Amino acid sequence: MLIDNERKLRFEDRFRFNCGKELSCFNQCCKNLTLMLMPYDIVRLKNALNISSSEFLEKYTTWHVGAATGLPVVVVKQKNNSCPFVTPEGCSVYEDRPSSCRLYPLVRIKKAEEEYYHVVYEDFCEGHKQNVEWSVGEWIKSQGAEIYNKMNDIFSELVLGIYTSGKKLSGEEIAEFYTACYDVDTLRELADEFGCERKENDVEQMIEGIELMKKKHLNQY
C-alpha cells in the first residue's frame, strides 16, 4: 500500500477514482486487510446484523492494546484471509460498512481544527485508472461518510487527549475503556456500575460512554 503523504487534499481538491462490480479487481480490497473499527462502526454493524454489541465483538473482532496509545484497538477477524462480510456480489453490509471502507481510497487526517485527506494506492486497484473525477467533499457525501467523520471525531478527541497527556491506563482501566467505548449494549446494562446514564438510543449510549472516559481520563467537565 502506498499512501501519497505529499499531497494534502482538502474538501475542494480533486482526485481521479471510480469503483464498480465490472472492474477485474472487484472485491480485492476486501481481502488480506487490517480493518480497524471505531465505536460508531460497531454500532452500525451490530444493528445491521441484528445482534448485540457483545455478540458482534465476540464473533467478528479481536482487540489488542495499541502500541502508541496504550488503548484498546478493535480489528475485524478475517475469514479465509478476507473480510467476513464480503460475498461474491460485494459487501453484505454495504449500507452500514465501516468508515475506512467508505472513505477508501482516501484516508482522513484530523488534527485539532485541521482536516485533510491522502490518497492510498494499491497495485491491484483499478479504480485510479478510471476516468471519473471527484472532489474530496463530493466523495465523502456520495459515500455517506459525513456522519461517520462526525462520530469518529468525538472518539478521536478522547484517544488523542489520552495520547498527548502521556497517561498510561492500567489493565483494569483498559478493560473499562473497551466496554465504555466499544460495547454499547453491555455499557447500557452496567450503566449504574459505570456511573453513566442509561440511554435507549445506541448512538446516545455510545457518546455517553466516550464522554464518561473523557471525564475520567481527561478531567473534562
Q: Which residues bind ligand SF4 (CB under 6 A)?
A: 19, 23, 25-26, 28-30, 35, 83, 85-86, 91, 93, 97-98, 101, 104, 124-127
- Return d(Cα 84, Cα 91) in angstroms, integer: 9
Tell me how far, at minimum, the Cβ of 95 lies from ligand SF4, in Å. Answer: 10
Tell me how far, at minimum, the Cβ of 190 lies from ligand SF4, in Å. Answer: 29
Nearer to ligand SF4, 29 or 187 (CB): 29
Tell me how far, at minimum, the Cβ of 84 lies from ligand SF4, in Å. Answer: 7
Residue owning grid cell 492500567: 170
Q: CA–CA distance from 77 to each of 34, 84, 120 (Å)?
A: 9, 7, 22
- Return d(Cα 63, Cα 75) in angstroms, integer: 6
Under a CB-based contact definition with an 8 Å cutoff, are residues 158 and 165 in contact? no
Tell me how far, at minimum, the Cβ of 37 lies from ligand SF4, in Å. Answer: 10
Nearer to ligand SF4, 97 or 188 (CB): 97
- Return d(Cα 221, Cα 216) in angstroms, integer: 10
Nearer to ligand SF4, 32 or 164 (CB): 32
C-alpha cell at 125: 486497484
Nearer to ligand SF4, 125 or 180 (CB): 125
